[in-house]
Amino acid sequence: MLVVWSIFLVLLWLHFEDPPKRKTPPKVIENDVESAQTGAIGEKQSLLQSTKRDSTSDDDDDDVDSEIPIWRNIPVMTTFVIYFVLKLILECLLSSTATLTSFYFNWDSGISGIYLAILGLLMLPANFVVAILASRHDDRELIVGCEVAMLLGCCGILQFTDRESYTAVQYVLFSVVIFLSTNALEGPNMSLLSKTIPKSWSLGFFNVGLLATEAGTLGRAVGDMLLSVLGYRGLDTLLNSAFRWMSISSGFCLAVTLCFFDYMEPHEKDD
């Protein structure tokens, strides 16, 4: 893992470039054009008044956005819920892997560690595919697709037969689906968050970025606590108990996204 991430860091240092910022042309106001025909004095007065009106209207729009409480901003709160759920599911998957693989397949710590390392390496191609799809599809469409895959992974990993019939192929296949979908979901979700937050919430220390980080931390903490509580019932029920809750969480997350899909459209703002 150290070698792979070191190679990735070198490639990132050599080839990554910030995209150029978009420069918007100055706006042409019809009132200014009309006032230019009436004389220099009228031109100056109209320019000052129109500029003042434009700046006042822009400030009013920003004030309206900033006055809305954060819990009433539908796209921002929806992205928070999605981020919480995906971190919850990802933490449950990674934290339970060693215990479940040892119980069902008699894997030792070395095999479990290699499997987790392979999962970690899958993050790079997953993000690469998401970057390609992001140029062709809307963020909301990518979010819904990743949530559907996450729900299928949580349902498919469940044990529907006895312990002897549960195979490592089933566990590995659907755990990979869960890992890829949760990591891929984080990209468009954070992209949508950056496009929907008001400017006033992206400044300072206590901003939306910090709140999103805390939402993810809370999701990981709840995932670990959930595994600890469900583990008291025995390892033979841990798999179904944990991922049954994960399936419910995934379904709830998908339902919330579909319910507020139209409200999650980002506003077009000039850079």
Taking only the tens place, the pLDDT of each residue in 78-108 is 999 999 999 999 999 999 999 999 999 999 9
In tens, the pLDDT along 100-136 reads: 999 999 999 899 999 998 998 888 888 888 888 888 8
| Alpha carbon distances (Å) from 61 to 152, 199, 268 | 42, 11, 13
Hey, what CATH topology would domain 70-264 get? Growth Hormone; Chain: A; (1.20.1250)
**Strand, helix or coil for residue 269:** coil
Q: CA–CA separation, 222 vs 74, rounded Å?
A: 23
111 within 8 A of 245, measured Cβ to Cβ:
no
By CB atoms closer than 10 A (0-12, 13-18, 19+), residue 240 is: middle
pLDDT at residue 196, as a whole number = 80
How many of the other CB atoms lie within 10 Å of CB of 264?
20
Of the candidate ranges 167-171, 197-201, 226-230, the one whose mean pLDDT is the lowest: 197-201
Going from N- to C-terminal start, the domains of the chain cover 70-264
> Which pLDDT score, from 0 to 100, does residue 82 have?
93
Q: What is the mean pLDDT of residues 135-146?
A: 90
pLDDT in the model for residue 69: 67
Higher pLDDT, residue 173 or 129:
173
Alpha carbon 50 to chain centroid, angstroms:
41
What residues contact residue 86 under an 8 Å CB cut-off, 6+ apart?
150, 182, 185, 186, 189, 219, 253
This prediction has a pTM of 0.75
- pLDDT-derived band at 11 (thresholds 50, 70, 90) equals confident
Q: What percent of the chain has pLDDT over 70?
A: 76
User: Mean of the per-residue pLDDT values for the chain?
Assistant: 80
What token pair was written down for 217?
């931390």
